[in-house]
Amino acid sequence: MNNESKEYESYAYSYPHKLAYRLFAEPKSLSETWKHEDVSNMFMYIHIPYCEMRCGFCNLLTIANPKSGKQSYIDTVIRELEIYKNTLKDIQIEEYAIGGGTPTFLHEDDLEKLFSAINKITNNHLKTIIGSVECSPKTVNSTKLSILKKYGVTRLSMGIQSWLESETRSLGRPQSPVIVEEAITKIKEYNFDVLNLDLIYGIKNQTSQTFLYSIDRTINYQPEEIFLYPLYIREQTGLGKKQIEYNDNRMELYKIGRDYLLENGYQQISMRCFRKKNTKLKESNYNATLHNTIGIGAGARSYTSNRNYSTPFAVKMTSIRSIIENYSKQTNKNLGLIKYGIVLSEKEKRIRFLLKSLIEGGQLNVNDYQVKFATNPFDDFALLREFAISNWIHEKSGEWKLTSLGMQKEDTIGPAFYSNSVKQKMQIEVL
C-alpha cells in the first residue's frame, strides 16, 4: 500500500510464521513426535482448500471451483484423522475449527462424511465441544446448515467484507447484497450459539461513510461477533499483482469502526474481534498457551511443545494445486511422517508463549510463564516493560492484557517479538 502505516506490519496469530518452515533433515514419525506430548485438551484445525471464488486479497492455500479432486482430498483428510486417532490413543479434542477456503463449498454428502469422521476422533462427543466453521454467502443452504446443526457446531463465521458491490468488486469478489441478506436470514433460523460476520477496511476508495454503512447494515442482524480486518496486499495475490496505489486510511477507519461498535452494544475482545455484550460462550479446558494443536489437511499447522509442522505453503496457483494434489495422493505411511516445519529453540518457545498469550484477546499469565520457563517474562523481554510504560498492556490479578491502545497496535506488537533467526528465514520468495 502507498504510505503504509507502521501500525500494520503483519497479522501475528501464530508463531513462528509459516514462511520460516523448512524441510526437516530427517522425517520424524507421528508416534515419535507426540510420544512425550500431552494430548488432552487439544485444539484441532481442519483445512478445506476450496472456494467458489478466490478473493483478490487472499494468500491462503486454496483454489477456486476445482473441476475434480474434492472427494479424494476429503478421503485423505478422513484417513489422516483416523491415523491421529490410532496413533494418539488418548487424544481429547476440546475445540476445533474448520476453515479454508470455504468448508461449505463441499457437497452435502462430503460435508456429512467429514463430520462423521470428526465425530469419531472425539469419541462421539462432537456435540459437547466448541466447533467453528467458515462459510460464504453463496455456499450455504438448508441441507448444509442442518448438517452443521446436527453435529453441534457452535460458531458459524461468514465473510461479507463490504455491503457495497463497488467495494467487493475492487476486492476481486463481486457479491450481491441480496445474496448476503438471504444467507444471513437463513443462518439465523438455525440459532447457532455464535454468528460471526467479517468486514474489511482499507478497500480502494472506501470512506468513513461507506465503512460505517457496512457496519450499520451488519449490526442490523445482531451477530454475536463482528470481525474488522485491515486489508493487507501481499505478494502473488490478485491485488498484489495489480500493484494498485492505495491511500492508506486504515487506522482512521479502524478507530471509526471500533468506536461505532462500542457505542452500539459490542465490546472489543481484540484488534479484530468485537463481541455483542452478554453473549454466552460455551466453555472448554483448552488453553492456547499451555495445550497442543493438530492440523489436518494441506497447509494445516500442528503445534507440539517444541515443534510446529505442516505441509509446504504457497501462494502461486500452480504451487497450491501441486501441494493439494500431492496431499491427496499420500499413503497412510506418508501421512504418518512429519517432514516440514520448524523445531523451536528455547527462545522461540518463549516468544510463541508470549504471542499466543497477548494476541487475539488473550492474557499473559506471569505465573504460568514462570512455571513453564522458570524465568519472568519481563526479564526475558525488555519490550514488555516498554509496552507497560506506554500503556499498551496493563495488569490485573497477575495477568497482562492489551489495553485499547495496545489492541490498536496489535499488528505492530506481534512482529516486534520475532527473533532475528525467524525474520531471516521469512525473507524468501513466496512460491
Residue 14 has pLDDT above 90, yes or no: no
Residue 326 falls inside a structural domain: no
Residue 400 falls inside a structural domain: yes
Residue 213 has pLDDT above 90, yes or no: yes
Residue 214 falls inside a structural domain: yes
CATH number, domain containing residue 84: 3.20.20.70
Residue 332 falls inside a structural domain: no
Assess whether 62 and 150 both reside in one domain.
Answer: yes
For residue 81, what is its C-alpha cell? Answer: 484423522
Assess whether 226 and 94 both reside in one domain.
Answer: yes
Q: Which of 261, 276, 291 is where one domain is finished?
A: 276
Locus of grid cell 492474557 = 363
Residue 428 has pLDDT above 80, yes or no: no
Residue 55 has pLDDT above 60, yes or no: yes
Task: Supply the pLDDT for residue 268.
Answer: 98
Per residue in 265-291, pLDDT (tens digit) is 999 999 999 999 999 999 999 999 999
Domain range enclosing 359 = 346-425
Helix residue ranges per DSSP H, 139-249: 142-150, 165-170, 177-188, 208-219, 238-242
CA–CA distance, 259 with 267 (Å, rounded to integer): 10
Per residue in 329-339, pLDDT (tens digit) is 999 999 999 99
Residue 66 has pLDDT above 50, yes or no: yes
Residue 287 falls inside a structural domain: no
Neighbours of 394 (CB within 10 A): 15
CATH number, domain containing residue 413: 1.10.10.920
Task: Supply the pLDDT for residue 230.
Answer: 96
**What is the tally of structural domains in the chain?**
2
Assess whether 272 and 351 both reside in one domain.
Answer: no
Task: Supply the pLDDT for residue 4.
Answer: 46
Per DSSP (E only), the strands in 187-283 are 194-201, 225-230, 266-268, 273-276
Task: Supply the pLDDT for residue 378.
Answer: 97
CA–CA distance, 162 with 184 (Å, rounded to integer): 14
Per residue in 200-209, pLDDT (tens digit) is 999 999 999 9
pLDDT bracket for residue 431 (50, 70, 90): low
Residue 133 falls inside a structural domain: yes
Per residue in 121-136, pLDDT (tens digit) is 999 999 999 999 999 9
Residue 103 has pLDDT above 70, yes or no: yes
Neighbours of 243 (CB within 10 A): 7
Assess whether 270 and 364 both reside in one domain.
Answer: no
Assess whether 258 and 171 both reside in one domain.
Answer: yes
CA–CA distance, 47 with 292 (Å, rounded to integer): 17
Residue 46 C-alpha from the chain's centroid: 11
Task: Supply the pLDDT for residue 3.
Answer: 39
Residue 211 C-alpha from the chain's centroid: 23
| Nearest alpha carbon to residue 233 among 196, 199, 200 | 200
Task: Supply the pLDDT for residue 417.
Answer: 96
Q: Which of 246, 276, 306 is where one domain is finished?
A: 276
Assess whether 236 and 368 both reside in one domain.
Answer: no
Assess whether 414 and 272 both reside in one domain.
Answer: no
Assess whether 39 and 154 both reside in one domain.
Answer: yes
Assess whether 242 and 139 both reside in one domain.
Answer: yes
Assess whether 193 and 67 both reside in one domain.
Answer: yes
Residue 65 falls inside a structural domain: yes
Residue 316 falls inside a structural domain: no
Assess whether 34 and 121 both reside in one domain.
Answer: yes
Q: Which of 256, 276, 296 is where one domain is finished?
A: 276
Residue 406 C-alpha from the chain's centroid: 20
CA–CA distance, 68 with 378 (Å, rounded to integer): 52
Per residue in 221-263, pLDDT (tens digit) is 999 999 999 999 887 788 888 877 778 999 999 999 999 999 9
Task: Supply the pLDDT for residue 2.
Answer: 43
Assess whether 263 and 353 both reside in one domain.
Answer: no
